[in-house]
């Protein structure tokens, strides 16, 4: 049986650009959110340039076939999951650093360039690209922009949005548009680039990005503090920020996560109730900043506070944080939450997570970017007991709803995707929700780009 979209794509694109083998298509079915709905796509298109993206989108629009943009598939919300009867467009082959402009501190890259590749290219000029998601070695710049990804350095340097100057995007009808500008300042017209950042592929396909670079900083100093429980660690974070200190990294891991990491990597993290990892990259002022942080940790009830003795020990602590997700994944199927609350409410949301875990008899590990109030309570689902999935989803939603009640948000950095479509409706003002739908329909009136993600179709 012939499939019109496959026939049309095969005629218009090079032979190696269209994947139709079901065994190979399985690799394009979903992102890292294992517990979200996904489907085998009709085809996966692997373009190498904007023209091939435009051709693909135009054909999909003419045939009214849904299209899902994909990057490295490291996302945790199901935003890149293939939909029934649709195709996917993977930008992994669009992986060139087009230019580094050291005087203007800018890089122009294709969307498939990884954070690591961009950082290495920038380092040749004494510059760096700040966004630092835990999957920075494999996650792509285009995917990070599409989800407005965060990371370990956000407490001081902000999320991806802060570093995006300009984009080239292919719209739902196959036209390409340039939005944004290279200049530091610019207020001419509406900020259309902002609409695409965090839109999760629902408004267009990113084909090029101009991003800001910054000078490399001194090697940071690192401090680790253990606590009897995660709520105490949360109170220490609040005290540090109230003192006016902004670490370059401020991460929290609770007892469940620490035990999972020890089991996974045998790093000897002990049996503390929680661990805080803080860094300061302020050069001569770093020692003073860490001293203030240490004082706040002691006042909040820290069991032990120690400074890393050298760069290797410091990197080991940060690596422990990066291992949190794979360590939890080794316990079962993880359902990763992503709530953010005002810092004053941090300890309360941690307490609530612990009470939900106890009440529902679930394993929930808490890890996150505590310095900006962004936590990732991760519910472990037993893959051999499907009944735990329903309980996990109830816990997931209960935690997110509680965060909303504290003045927070249902997602700080992972995005809405499929996981949080219903929760976003809870968060948005009804008028704001209607405005968002109108924006979607202005760019994609037939709901062909990543349908079913972010906002439910009315």
Phi, psi of 176 (to 5 degrees): -105, 145
Would the pLDDT of 290 be above 80?
yes
Which of 401, 359, 425, 391 lies closest to 35, judged by CA?
Answer: 391
The mean pLDDT value of the chain amounts to 94
Q: What is the pLDDT of residues 19-66, one digit of tens each?
A: 999 999 999 999 999 889 999 999 999 999 999 999 999 999 999 999
Phi, psi of 283 (to 5 degrees): 65, -120
Q: Give the number of other CB atoms < 10 A from CB of residue 456.
A: 13
In whole angstroms, what is the distance from residue 133 CA to residue 136 CA?
Answer: 5
DSSP-assigned letter for residue 249:
E
DSSP-assigned letter for residue 219:
P
Could you give the count of Cα atoms lying within 13 Å of 288 in the half-sphere of its Cβ?
Answer: 7
Query: Residue 366's Cα: distance from chain center in Å?
Result: 16
Q: What is the pLDDT of residues 359-373, one digit of tens each?
A: 999 999 999 999 999
Res 1: pLDDT: 56
Res 430: pLDDT: 94
Which of 45, 29, 57 lies closest to 93, judged by CA?
Answer: 45
Whole-structure pTM value = 0.94
Would the pLDDT of 67 be above 70?
yes
Q: Per-residue pLDDT averaged across 442-454, rounded?
A: 97
Would the pLDDT of 2 be above 70?
no
Which of 10, 31, 32 lies closest to 21, judged by CA?
Answer: 10
* Cβ atoms of residues 104 and 182 within 8 Å: yes
* Cβ atoms of residues 61 and 174 within 8 Å: yes
pLDDT band at 219 (very low <50, low <70, confident <90, very high): confident
Q: What is the pLDDT of residues 293-345, one digit of tens each?
A: 999 999 999 999 999 888 888 888 888 888 898 999 999 999 999 999 999 99
């Amino acid at each position: 049986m012939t499939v019109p979209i496959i026939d049309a794509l095969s005629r218009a694109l090079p032979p190696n650009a269209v994947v139709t083998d079901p065994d190979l298509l399985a690799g394009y079915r979903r992102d890292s959110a294992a517990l979200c709905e996904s489907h085998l796509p009709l085809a996966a298109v692997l373009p190498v340039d904007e023209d091939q993206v435009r051709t693909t989108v135009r054909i999909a629009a003419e045939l009214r076939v849904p299209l899902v943009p994909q990057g490295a598939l490291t996302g945790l919300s199901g935003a890149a999951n293939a939909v029934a009867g649709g195709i996917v467009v993977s930008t992994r082959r669009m992986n060139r650093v087009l230019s580094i402009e050291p005087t203007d501190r800018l890089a122009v890259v294709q969307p498939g360039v990884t954070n690591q590749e961009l950082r290495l290219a920038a380092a040749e000029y004494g510059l760096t690209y700040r966004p630092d998601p835990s999957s920075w070695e494999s996650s792509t710049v285009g995917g990070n922009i599409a989800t407005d990804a965060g990371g370990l350095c956000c407490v001081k340097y902000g999320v991806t949005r802060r570093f995006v100057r300009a984009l080239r995007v292919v719209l739902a009808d196959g036209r390409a548009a340039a939005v944004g500008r290279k200049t530091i300042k610019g207020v001419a017209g509406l900020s259309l680039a902002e609409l695409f950042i965090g839109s999760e592929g629902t408004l267009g396909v990113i084909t090029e990005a101009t991003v800001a670079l910054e000078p490399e900083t001194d090697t940071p100093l690192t401090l680790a503090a253990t606590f009897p429980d995660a709520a105490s660690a949360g109170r220490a974070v609040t005290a540090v920020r109230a003192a006016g200190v902004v670490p370059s990294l401020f991460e929290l891991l609770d007892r469940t996560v620490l035990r999972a990491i020890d089991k996974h990597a045998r790093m000897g993290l002990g049996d503390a109730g929680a661990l805080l990892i803080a860094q300061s990259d302020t050069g001569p002022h770093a020692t003073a900043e860490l001293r203030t942080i240490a004082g706040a940790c002691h006042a909040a009830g820290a069991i032990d506070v120690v400074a890393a003795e050298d760069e290797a020990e410091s990197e080991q602590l940060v690596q422990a944080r990066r291992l949190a997700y794979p360590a939890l994944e080794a316990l079962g199927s993880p359902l990763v939450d992503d709530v953010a609350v005002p810092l004053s409410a941090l300890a309360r949301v941690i307490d609530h997570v612990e009470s939900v875990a106890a009440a529902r008899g679930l394993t929930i590990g808490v890890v996150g970017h505590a310095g900006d109030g962004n936590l990732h309570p991760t519910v472990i689902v037993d893959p051999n007991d499907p009944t735990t999935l329903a309980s996990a989803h109830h816990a997931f939603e209960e935690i997110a709803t509680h965060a909303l009640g504290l003045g927070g948000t249902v997602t700080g950095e992972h995005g809405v995707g499929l996981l949080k479509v219903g929760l976003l409706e809870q968060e948005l003002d009804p008028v704001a929700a209607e405005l968002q739908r109108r924006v979607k329909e202005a760019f994609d009136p037939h709901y062909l780009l990543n349908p079913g993600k972010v906002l439910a179709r009315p």
